[in-house]
């Protein structure tokens, strides 16, 4: 049986193990969406992961969802990320940038711009702003001619990511953000070629991924998906058919991987595993749910055919998570109050396991 600590070839990369650090928003960027020296330390501390996927990085200004998040749409942002990628590589690691366009999950007080989405329908709930939580605003519906520009924003950011030293990119197609909004049957009320039928609702995702592959190559391109998830009020009908159709189109592109969250029943997820011929990264528990990913969850999904397993919150308090999993050491608890508070406390202050004589 495949073991969590077996090596794995991912595109041009040789992963030393099958542990992936999942993308997690940490809102520690400097003004202007710049990466910082603390971010370089944070990711370098976790470089023993087979692959790190960064926090969500906005591909353009209107795509910024939360305050304090980094970007990849200016030269200054590219330059700031080089310290991060260099630190990870110096420590022997590999890192992809997650490209996250928030779509309607944003606020004018964060970006200075009205959010955009497939339709003029607001997200459900309060969004984060510089002035605290605020009700999600009504986005401006993209015109048919504007949609390709937003799809291309992922490709432009991917080029910048490679220039910044990232080994590749992961498009955030999950959790109610822009790609997920187009896949949705309630956030997307369009009647043009981007809405309505399954074939139309997957079109934006396919165009965004295709443009990224053309920009940086298939071996450097992955996508994250959350089948059937309801984050930010997004809902999907025909989930098995929707994702089977999407994966069939993506399979033509020979991507580095598809990264799937456990947001649907295992039977549905296994159907997607059978329908996806390439590398599958599985995140075995519900994101931000009550349970963190454990070694048993990883082994279970490796046995079901996933090639790689992503761990999220466990990596926050355990920079040496790979070693703890390998040796069966205790997993330290995380202080969830420090997730988004800024600063180095609860960010760089978690130690490696202290062995006693």
Catalytic-residue membership of 177: yes
Closest residue by Cα to residue 281 from 254, 262, 253: 262
Class of residue 159 by CB neighbours under 10 A (exposed 0-12, middle 13-18, buried 19+): middle
3-class secondary structure, 136: coil
CA atoms within 13 A on the CB side of 260: 30
CA-to-CA distance for 256 and 297, rounded, in angstroms?
Answer: 23
Task: Centre a 10 Å sphere on the Cβ of residue 343 and count the other Cβ atoms it contains.
Answer: 11
The strand pairing partners of 226, in sequence order, are: none
3-class secondary structure, 213: helix
Could you tell me what percentage of the chain is helix, strand and coil, using 3-state DSSP and rounding each to the nearest 5? Answer: 35, 15, 50
Reading the block at residue 79, the tokens are 């330059």
Residue with tokens 């209107």: 62
**Beta-carbon contacts of residue 106 (< 8 Å; ≥ 6 apart):** 62, 63, 64, 65, 115, 127, 139
Distances (CA, A) of 61 to 64, 67, 139, 201, 313: 6, 11, 15, 24, 27
Given 42, 177, 194, 350, the catalytic residue: 177
CA-to-CA distance for 45 and 325, rounded, in angstroms?
Answer: 16
CA-to-CA distance for 255 and 10, rounded, in angstroms?
Answer: 10
**Residues classed as catalytic:** 177
């Amino acid at each position: 049986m495949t073991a969590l600590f077996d090596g794995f070839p991912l595109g041009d990369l040789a992963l030393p193990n099958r542990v992936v650090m999942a993308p997690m928003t940490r809102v520690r960027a400097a003004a202007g969406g710049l990466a910082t020296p603390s971010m370089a330390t944070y990711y370098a501390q976790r470089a023993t992961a087979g692959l790190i996927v960064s926090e969500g990085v906005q591909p353009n200004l209107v795509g910024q969802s939360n305050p304090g998040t980094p970007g990849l749409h200016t030269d200054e942002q590219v330059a700031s990320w080089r310290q991060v990628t260099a630190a990870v590589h110096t420590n022997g690691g590999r890192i992809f940038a997650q490209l996250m366009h928030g779509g309607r999950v944003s606020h004018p007080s964060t970006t200075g711009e009205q959010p955009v989405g497939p339709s003029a329908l607001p997200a459900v709930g309060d969004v984060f702003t510089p002035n605290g939580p605020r009700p999600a605003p009504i986005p401006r519906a993209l015109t048919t001619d504007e949609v390709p520009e937003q799809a291309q924003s992922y490709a432009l950011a991917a080029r910048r990511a490679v220039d910044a030293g990232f080994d590749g990119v992961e498009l955030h197609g999950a959790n109610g953000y822009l790609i997920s909004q187009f896949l949705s049957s309630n956030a997307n009320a369009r009647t043009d070629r981007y809405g309505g039928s399954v074939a139309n609702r997957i079109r934006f995702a396919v165009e965004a991924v295709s443009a990224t592959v053309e920009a940086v190559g298939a071996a450097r391109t992955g996508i994250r998906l959350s089948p059937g998830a309801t984050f930010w009020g997004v809902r999907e009908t025909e989930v098995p058919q929707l994702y089977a159709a999407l994966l069939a189109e993506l399979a033509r592109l020979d991507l580095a991987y598809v990264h799937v969250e456990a947001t649907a029943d295992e039977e549905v997820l296994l159907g997607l595993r059978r329908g996806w011929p390439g590398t599958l990264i599985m995140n075995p528990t519900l994101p931000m749910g009550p349970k963190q990913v454990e070694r048993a969850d990883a082994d279970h999904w490796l046995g079901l055919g996933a090639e790689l397993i992503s761990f999220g919150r466990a990596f926050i308090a355990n920079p040496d998570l790979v070693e703890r999993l390998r040796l069966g050491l205790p997993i330290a608890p995380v202080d969830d109050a420090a997730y988004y508070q800024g600063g180095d406390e609860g960010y760089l202050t978690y130690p490696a396991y202290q062995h006693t004589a």
